[in-house]
Structure 1
Amino acid sequence: MKHLTMCTLALASALSFFSVSGCIKESGAPILGETDSENVADQESDFQASYYYLMARLYDIKNETDLAQKALEKAIAKDPDSSFLQREYIICLQKQEKSGQAMALAQLLAEKYPDDVENLLLLARLKKGDDKDMTLLLERILELAPEDKETFLRLGKVYMDEGMTLKAMNLFSRMTTIFPDYYVAYFYLGETQRIAGNPEAAKKSYLKTLELEPDLIEPRFRLVDVYKAMGEEINKAEIIKLLNQVLSLEPGDEKALIELGLLYFNTKDYQNADDIFALLGREIRKNTDLVLNIAQILMPEDRYQDAVTVLSQIRKALPGNANINFFLGMAYEGLEKPDKAIECYLKVTPDHPQYKKTILSIAFLYRDMNRTVEAIQFLEQHHRQSPQDIDITSYLASFYQENNSHDIAVTMLQRALKEAPQNTDLLFKLGVVLDAAGQRRKSIETMKTIIRLDSEHASALNYLGYTYAEMGINLNQALKLVQRALEIRPEDGYIMDSLGWVYFKKQAYDKAIFYLEKAVELSEYETVIAAHLADAYLKTGQREKAIAMYKKALDNAKPDHEKEIMEIKEKLKNLENPVQ
């Protein structure tokens, strides 16, 4: 430690003629208007600030950020006007995951020095999201520092995320003018042109990107997309050339092989397609996880038909591969072909890590095809094989409930609870089934039991609070229950609806509307929630809004909303054709 201190003093002495804020103080040249004593005092203060700053740097190197923070506090005390020290302090807080404190200080610093680019850049780096404030901040930074690459890219991305493609395009076009040799600017210019539906311009930008950086992979894939949009058949040679370039740069690149196989297959060049798919099949024999990579390349972009083509062709050589059948089932689900999906899922073997998910998926597919009895029979078979499996028991009980076989569901859940009496998932399912069976008091007691076992169980808190609201009882307690649930899951539209509905029952209609409007946004206008908002509009005399919202509720209604559909239609009938 003594050696560390000596090194620090030596460094501090060497830099003592610099102020930490970056101003050089020349020896023997006092600042105008200062006395010699004041100048000496300033130099001592600068020396001490530099010393503590260097101590902070050494602590930071040793990952002792708490000590670094204290050293920076001492440095700032010696030089309180230094933006540099303030920024270092904020960065130190961020390293300690004190994000709230760091953000607050960064905001204050930016407000104090609104033209200091470094302060604004720090604030932009700390900010999360792409809200309006972020857009304005980045635009301001670019005004002050028109050649800051980071800000160009961030602002362009914000514009793109907000759907302002033209603004993004103009920004990246400007960037290529300022930085004519910066390949990233041309790449993002190409992105905006492609999104805007200008493939010729996008092609030029991507080609310029490759001219500047010939070994890049991603611009080649983008060019493949552009050529496809311009006509896969007529640009086949160009696409093959690009994909072969990728494979030359990255031998075995899975995406390139997939795209090449699809191109040959879609243009009826089946011999070359078979060769590519056979190669992928051989690789899968060596590494079955490659199937997951294929799914991750195609399915996030909703390319389900392409996924079916690739996986079906590969499966010809590997018909029993559980991984292929699992992801092929997922692709058929994406295409809304449930029979085909079930056919694939049934070939997934019990040793597959997603076997239980496969079982549940098959049951839900049967149910969604209005074949609930088959869903029940299928799950019963697996329930007998694994009677301790809580998930299968719970979903099987749900299907019995949907089939109005409440007694069977209750018996099954109670039997499972004898083995696991404190399992809150089973208890919650039991409470829901009891409520559906008309045993509301028992349902309430079950929910209370869950909350005693787990005071953070948001679903039980919400269910009990909503039940009280529906019954018009214990409304103050209902409010507390639902508010607590919302603290735990603040973005849950159904809990937000419950809060609005409690206020509705308390006749606080303005508050009800406030929360119900949030709830319909979060739930994408779910039928019951939209009907609740329409009821609240009606109570406040907003008849036209109520009619529009009832219609929105009907538009989003599902077959199992039969009761709600009838009630909403009756309300609309009375509103649109009032009895004179």
Structure 2
Amino acid sequence: MNFRALGWLFYAVSGALLCTFSFVGCQAMVTPRTSTEAPAPSEASEFEPIPDPYYHYMLASLASGKGNMEEAEEQLVQAIDLDETSSYLEIELAGRLWRRGDVDGTLQHALAAVRKNPKDIQARLFLAGFYTTQRQNDEALAQYEQILQQDPNQREALLYSANRYQEVGDYERAIAFLNQLTAAHPDDVAGPYSLARIYLHLKSYNQAEANLDRVLQIRPDFGPAVMDLAEVYSATGRFDKAEVLFNSMIESNPRQFQGYLSLGELYLKTGKEKEAGETFERLREISENSVEVRKKIAIELFQYKKYGEAERELADIVEEAPDDFEARLFLAAVLEAKGEFDEAQKLYRSIPEDSPAHLNARLQLGNLLDKQGKTDEAEALFRESIQTMPNAVKLYLGLAYMLTDRGRYEDALSVLNEGLAANPDNIDLLFQIGMVYDKMRDYEKSLEPMRRIVELEPDNANALNFIGYTYADKGIKLDEAETMIKKALSLSPNSGFIIDSLGWVYFKKGDYAAAIEYLKKAFELLPDDPIISEHLGDAYLALNQLEEALGAYKKSLELRKEDRDQIQKKIDDVELRLNERP
């Protein structure tokens, strides 16, 4: 028999209603006969199950209603055996198995449902949801892609696909899915709000504002959109409008803690210290002096270098809650920023090993010792900490950074490889190994860990950019370099370093106009990077734009700490050519 969900539902409900009145009613549904009919000689005194999937589905529903989940599952298995084409039954059983934690059984029956009816969108949604819970994101995405082939406007599939591509940094594809979602579901805030969040991340404030306006047209009371719009106003210098929005949020919800924090941060940003203090004091009152809220206030004060106020806030917390080691860590960082190194050290050392803040305390302490010129003591502390926390990748990296800065490249590599042995294929360790080899000017060896990263994470923008830039700088594999860098740029479209790499590829290819276009954009994003300034100078020089080249080279020299002779020579050459002009 071919299963139809509506038929099953009708049968189950009808059976349940009849059985409410008498068990005889249930028997009548199984084998109706007149009262004068004699039973067949072979019939048992109790009625026998009917080989009908509807019947077993009904019994499963009855068992479930009585809380007998094991019996319900057994009846569903029998129903599936009798109707081998039903995807609905498979999903019904998969759902029950999932609720009791049978992961393998859930997957088995969800896959069976999709095999039985590949066009069953609900079955694919269930399977995709299962994969998501197991963090099997590629498998989930494949199911959503199948759903979209059948229904291009299916909401969950569009939203998940957009989120997945956003997670890996493919914003172009994420935006395409969200635009489709917005067009197909114009009254749904999910599309425009998700678009706004992406554009905020990309600092594309005009597009973010347009989408937030759309969200608020649909749902004027949607608090997160109001908050984000105020942030857009603040980021674009429209502080008065931001202040109005933050205040409106607070008025509509006086216990909106984030509204007070954002308003206080805005006042700090605009130099209104008195108003900031009043706002934070009001927040303390309405939060009933919540420790978590006060720590957030301290962080805001710290970010705007209000060290004295941040110190007082955190010192009060530490006195009230001596076991709040996160607050103690923050207080140590404030004291370090104030130059009170001895007091900061004491606090870092006072955080116990069993505290979640212990790892960061050791890192901060090691960096502080190094800052004070106590390099040997810092190195000993890092190595001691690694012995007790061998899986803490940050410790290997912290020690390697310090050794690299001291020019001890071989020692840094030894530490990083030790970390890699304890944490195989760790992306951060691999990347830093490549960076150390690059410092050593061993470019071929620097590429090996980067290629491994791309094998492990094909969408790792930093590794793609590193390989592409290295090829470009050596003038080899320029087409491959361009492809890799463009992919990296699609993943991180606002990265000044990646934009510089693309400009450098065009320079090496002889397309100087395109090179200048990208290098100027990179310089706008990273005006304090001496390499980008030098690249821009080289591109201007290639087009004989001598004044522009001279300005870029002088900027690079101003920023340089090493290889200054090389830049000075370029400046001298350009000045000589300018003087030789008629």
Distance in 2 separating the partners of 1:190 and 1:66:
47
What are the superposed Cα offsets for residues 114-170 of structure 1, whole Å, 9 maximum, x if unpaired? Answer: 233343234335443461222232222122222223334323322322333344334
What's the offset of the Cα at 1:427? Answer: 3.5
Kept in 2, the 8 Å contact 1:138–1:151? The answer is yes
Distance 1:578 1:521 in 2: 37
Letter in 2 for 1:60: W
**TM-score after normalising by structure 1:** 0.57
Aligned letter for 1:135? I
Q: Which residue is equivalent to 2:138?
A: 100
Does the aligned pair in 1 maintain the 2:87–2:113 contact within 8 Å? yes
Match of 2:414 among 403, 415, 427: 427
Counterpart for residue 69 of structure 1:
107
Change over 3 Å in CA distance of 1:225–1:386 after alignment to 2: closer
Q: Match for 1:483: what amino acid?
A: R
Change (3 A) 1:397 1:150: closer
Question: 2:54 matched to 1:14?
Answer: no
- Deviation string 1:285-306 (CA, Å, 9 cap, x unpaired) is xxxxx7xx6654544xx222x1
2:371 corresponds to 1:365 = yes
For residue 58 of structure 1, give the secondary structure of its aligned residue in structure 2.
Answer: helix
Relative to structure 1, the CA distance from residue 540 to residue 110 in structure 2 (aligned partners, 3 Å threshold; closer, same or farther) is same
Question: Residues 152 and 507 of structure 1: is their aligned pair in 2 closer, same or farther, counting only changes over 3 Å?
Answer: closer
Gaps of 5+ in 2: 14-81, 352-357, 387-395, 517-533, 539-548
Residue 62 of structure 1: CA displacement?
1.8
1:138 counterpart = 2:175: no
Q: 2:310: which partner in 1? A: 310
- The aligned runs of 1:154-233 (5 Å cut-off) are 154-225=194-265, 232=272
In structure 1, runs of 5+ residues without a counterpart are: 1-7, 19-43, 259-289, 367-374, 403-408, 414-423, 430-446
Offset at 1:47?
8.2
Query: Which segment is superposed worse, 216-225 or 387-396?
Result: 387-396
Q: C-alpha distance in 2, partners of 1:218/1:516?
A: 39
Kindly tell me: are residues 341 and 127 of structure 1, through their superposed partners in 2, closer, same or farther at Cα, counting changes over 3 Å?
same
Q: What is the CA-CA distance between 1:53 and the residue it aligns to?
A: 1.9
* Mapped pair 1:79 → 2:112: no
Which digits, 9 at most, give the CA deviation of each residue in 1:294-332, with x for residues without a partner? 654544xx222x13443168769999x999997566447
Other-structure match for 2:69: none
Q: 1:502-548: CA deviations, max 9, x gaps?
A: 6866854554666689799999659xx98999699468585986862
Q: 2: distance between equivalents of 1:509 and 1:95?
A: 42
**Counterpart amino acid of residue 570 in structure 1:** K
Contact 1:156-1:168 within 8 A present in 2 as well:
yes
CA deviation vs aligned residue, 1:378-427 (integer Å, no higher than 9, x gap):
3457789999788899889768x65xxxxxx89xx9xxxxxxxxxx8573
Partner of 2:159 in structure 1? 121
* 1:50 aligned onto 2:85: no
| Matches of 2:92 and 2:217, distance apart in 1 | 41
> Is 1:570–2:569 an aligned residue pair?
yes
Distance in 2 (alpha carbons) for counterparts of 1:450 and 1:182: 46
CA distance in 1, matches of 2:254, 2:511: 66
Give the corresponding residue for 2:290. Answer: 253
1:428-469 per-position Cα deviation (integer Å, ceiling 9, x unaligned): 69xxxxxxxxxxxxxxxxx9x999999967355776699796
How many angstroms apart in 1 are the aligned matches of 2:506 and 2:262? 50
Task: Work out whether residues 348 and 365 of structure 2, in 8 Å CA contact, stay in contact via their aligned partners in 1.
Answer: no
Cα separation, partners in 2 of 1:316 and 1:193, compared to 1, 3 Å: closer
Q: CA, structure 1 residues 553+73, in 2 after alignment: closer, same or farther (shift >3 Å)?
A: farther
Distance 2:117 2:469 in 1: 52
CA gap 1:11/1:61 in 2 versus in 1, 3 angstroms: farther
Q: Give yes or no for contact 1:159–1:168 (8 Å, CA) kept in 2.
A: yes
* Structure 2 length-normalised TM: 0.57
CA shift at 1:251, angstroms?
0.9
Counterpart of 2:51 in structure 1 is none
Q: Is the 8 A contact 1:49 1:78 kept in 2?
A: yes
CA distance in 1, matches of 2:83, 2:266: 62
Could you say which residue in structure 2 is the equivalent of 1:89? 127
Tell me if the contact between 2:399 and 2:412 (Cα under 8 Å) persists in the aligned partners: no
Q: 1:361, CA displacement in angstroms?
A: 3.1
CA-to-aligned-CA distance 1:67-110 (integer Å, 9 cap, x gap): 22332333334433222222222112222322112112312422
- Structure scoring higher RCO (CA < 8 A, sep ≥ 6) equals 2
Partner SS state of residue 186, structure 2: coil
Amino acid at match of 2:451: Q
- Indicate conservation of the 8 Å contact 1:215/1:249, yes or no: yes
Corresponding residue for residue 42 of structure 2? none
Deviations 1:208-262 (A, max 9, x none): 44454443322233344456678747858xx73x555534432113476x6xxxx
* Paired letter, 2:8: S
**Structure 1 pair 494–164 and aligned structure 2 pair: CA distance change class (3 A):** closer
Say whether the 8 Å CA contact 1:531–1:553 is kept in structure 2. no
Question: Contact 1:52–1:71 at 8 Å: present in 2 too?
Answer: yes
Task: Provide the residue aligned with 1:483 in structure 2.
Answer: 451
Q: How does 1:376-415 map to 2 (within 5 A)?
A: 378-380=374-376
Taking the aligned partners of 2:567 and 2:198, their CA distance within structure 1 comes to 41
Structural mapping, 1:339-378, within 5 Å: 340=339, 342=341, 344-345=343-344, 350-352=349-351, 353=358, 357=363, 360-366=366-372, 375=373, 378=374
* Alpha-carbon distance in structure 1 between the residues aligned to 2:434 and 2:509: 27
Amino acid at match of 1:311: E
> Aligned partners of 2:103 and 2:344: how far apart in 1?
52
Render the CA deviation track for 1:24-51: whole Å, top value 9, x for unaligned: xxxxxxxxxxxxxxxxxxxx98982322
Q: Mean Cα displacement is larger for which, 460-469 or 194-203?
A: 460-469
Identity %: 13
Q: 1:451 to 1:570 in 2, by over 3 A?
A: farther
* Distance of 2:122 and 2:473 partners within structure 1: 53
Contact 2:473–2:504 (8 Å) recurs in 1: no
Match of 1:548 in 2: 536
- Cα deviations by residue, 1:12-32 (Å, 9 ceiling, x for unpaired): 8335799xxxxxxxxxxxxxx
Counterpart CA distance in 1 for 2:502 and 2:138 is 36
Aligned to 2:26: none
**CA–CA distance in structure 2, aligned partners of residues 126 and 158 of structure 1:** 12
CA distance in 1, matches of 2:260, 2:240: 15
Alpha carbons of structure 1 residues 148 and 233: separation in structure 2 relative to 1, 3 Å:
same
Work out the CA distance in 2 between the residues paired with 1:109 and 1:524: 38
